[in-house]
Amino acid sequence: MIPLNWSEAYLALALALATLPLRRVRGGWPASLCLLTFDLLETSHMEYLTLYELNHFVRQVLEVNLDEPYWLQAELSEVKENRGHCFVEFVQKAEKGNSIIAKARGQIWASSWPIIRQHFESTTGQRLSAGMEVLVKVEVTFHEAYGYSLNIIDIDPRFTLGDIAKRRQEIIKQLQEEGVFTMNKEIELPSLLQRIAVISAATAAGYQDFSNQLQNNPHGLAFHTQLFPAVMQGAQVEQSVIQALNNIANEMDQWDAVVIIRGGGAAADLSGFDTLLLAENVAQFPLPIITGIGHEKDDTVIDLVSHTRVKTPTAAAEFIIQHQVVQLHHLEDMASTIAQFATLTLRTEQLRLSRMASLIPSLFGVRKAKEEAKMERLLMDALTAIHTQTTQQQSRLQLLAQQLQISTEKWLTALRHRIALAETHISAANPERLLQLGFSITRIDGKAVTSSKQVKPGAQLTTTLADGEIHSTVNEK
C-alpha cells in the first residue's frame, strides 16, 4: 500500500466531499473551510496522516459546513431499539427499479426518543417500522471511530400519515383491479354457524372474552370453536395469520366460518393488518371471515375485505349468536308451519280414505272382471307367441343340421388331403430310404459327425449303411 502524503490526503478528501451539500458563499467556499485549508497547508511539512487525524479533519469540515439541521425525506430500511435509544437505517431507491442509490445510519437518543415515539404513534396510529417513508429533521454528525451518521431530532408524522393512507389506497386499488376486493363478502353465511375457526393470540384476553360469550350465551346455543394461534402484533402478523389461514384451509370442511380477533392493544400495532399479501389471502379465502380487531375508529385493510367487520371480539361473538338466534326463530316458525300443514293434510287424507273405503266393494268387482279379461287375453297371446316361436326354431334347427353336415364333409376331405401330403413328406425324409440311396451316417459315441473338428486321431467311428455298420479307427486327420 502506498501511503498518502499531506497534499494527497487533502486532495482525496476534497474529492470525497465534492458530493456533500456544502453551503457556498459568494466568491467561493465558506471562510471557515478556507481557514481549515490554510491550517492544513501550514502543516504540510508532515509526511503522513493517521486515520484519526484524517477522520478528525472530516469531522471539522462537516461541523463547519453542515452546522444546521436539515429536513430529510427517506425510506426506513431498519428500525431497532437498544437501551432506550432508537437506531435506524435510511435508504433511497432509484425511481425506476428497486436498486438503492443512497444509504445512511441514524439514531434518536434516549433523551428524546420517548417523546418523538409517542407523538408519532398517537398521530399515525403506527409504530415506526421498516418500509415507511418518513420526513425527519436531522443533524449531520461524524465520529472519528463510528463514522458518518444522522442525529434525528424530530419526525413529522403528517408526512408518514399521508404515505400510510396512500399505501392503503394503493392496496385497495390493486385488490379492486384484481377483482378480489369483495370476494369474501359475496360468500353467503351458512344457516348453521356453529363450527368456528378462531385466529388469535392464545393468551389474548379478547380470545377469552369471545369464547366465554359464545359458550355462556343466554339462548343455550351450542358452538364448537378451535384456536389457530397467530402473532397479532409486530412484524410477524402477516406471515403468522396467513399460516393460520392455510391450516384452516387444509381442513376447510370442518368449519363454517373464520373469526380473526385481536382485542385491545395500541393502534400503532395495526400496521401488520394493512399488507397486500394478507388482504389477498383474506379476500380470496373460501370461508366467510369475521374480523374483530379491537378498534372502533380504525379500519384495517383486512376489515375492508372481510365478510363482516365488527369492533371487538365480544361483538364478533354477539354477531354469531344473533345470526344463530335469527336462524333458530326461522326454524321455529318453519316447524310451526309444518305442524299446521301436517295436521290439515292428515285430516284431508283421513276424509279421502273414508270415501275410498266406501267405494272399495263396488270398485273391486269391476276391477276383478277387467283384470280377468285382461289375463285371458294375455294367456291367448302367450300361447300364440309360443307356437309361432317353436315353429320358427324347428325350421332353423333343420337348416343348421344341413349346413353342419355339408361343413363337416368339407372339413374331413381337407383333413384327409393334408394327412396324405404329410405322409409323402415323412416318407421322403425317412433315414432308411436315404441309406438305400447310398448315403451313410458316421457317429462318435452315438452322436452324428457333422464336422471334421469333432474327429481326433484314435477316435472310434461307427458308419451306418443300408445293410449294416462299419467300425473304424481314425489314424490321421
Q: What domains are there in the chain, each with its CATH number?
A: 6-65 (no CATH), 70-167 (2.40.50.140), 184-325 (3.40.50.10550), 435-473 (no CATH)
Contact partners, residue 282, CB within 8 Å, separation at least 6: 184, 245, 260, 289, 302, 305, 306
Q: What are the tens digits of pLDDT across the range 166-216? A: 888 889 999 999 999 999 999 999 988 999 999 999 888 889 999 999 999
Q: What are the tens digits of pLDDT across the range 216-270? A: 999 899 999 999 999 988 778 899 999 999 999 999 999 999 999 987 665 556 7
Contact by Cβ (8 Å): 230, 200: yes
Average pLDDT over residues 83-90: 94
Q: Taking the model in full, what pTM does it have? A: 0.51
Contact by Cβ (8 Å): 268, 126: yes
Instruction: Report the percent of the chain where pLDDT is more than 90.
Output: 43
Give residue for cell 385488490. 175
What region, left, alpha or beta, does residue 125 occupy, with left being phi > 0 and alpha being psi -120 to 50 degrees?
left
**Cα→Cα distances 102→72, 75, 105, 173, Å:** 13, 10, 11, 30
What's the longest Cα–Cα distance across the chain?
144
pLDDT confidence of 297, banded at 50, 70, 90?
Answer: low
Q: ∠365-368-373 over CA atoms, to 5°?
A: 130
Give how far the C-alpha of residue 380 lies from the chain's centroid of Cα atoms, to the nearest Å: 73
Range with the poorest average pLDDT among 63-67, 325-329, 435-439, 466-470: 435-439
Q: Pull the grid cell for residue 137.
A: 429533521
Q: How far apart are CA 372 and CA 314, in angstroms?
A: 77
Q: What are the tens digits of pLDDT across the range 5-59? A: 333 433 444 444 544 444 333 333 444 444 444 454 444 445 788 999 899 999 9
Q: How far apart are CA 275 and CA 469, in angstroms?
A: 109
Q: What are the tens digits of pLDDT across the range 130-157? A: 888 899 999 999 999 989 999 999 999 8
pLDDT confidence of 316, banded at 50, 70, 90?
Answer: very high
225 closest CA partner among 114, 339, 316: 316
Contact by Cβ (8 Å): 173, 163: no
Helix (H, G, I), strand (E, B) or coil at 462: strand
User: Does pLDDT of 319 surpass 90?
Assistant: yes
Contact partners, residue 475, CB within 8 Å, separation at least 6: 457
Range with the poorest average pLDDT among 29-33, 74-78, 329-333, 398-402: 29-33
Name beta bridge partners: 474: none
Q: Residue 167 has what pLDDT?
A: 83
Helix (H, G, I), strand (E, B) or coil at 198: strand
Average pLDDT over residues 285-313: 86
Q: Pull the grid cell for residue 168.
A: 392503503
Q: What are the tens digits of pLDDT across the range 406-439? A: 999 999 999 999 998 988 888 777 777 777 777 7
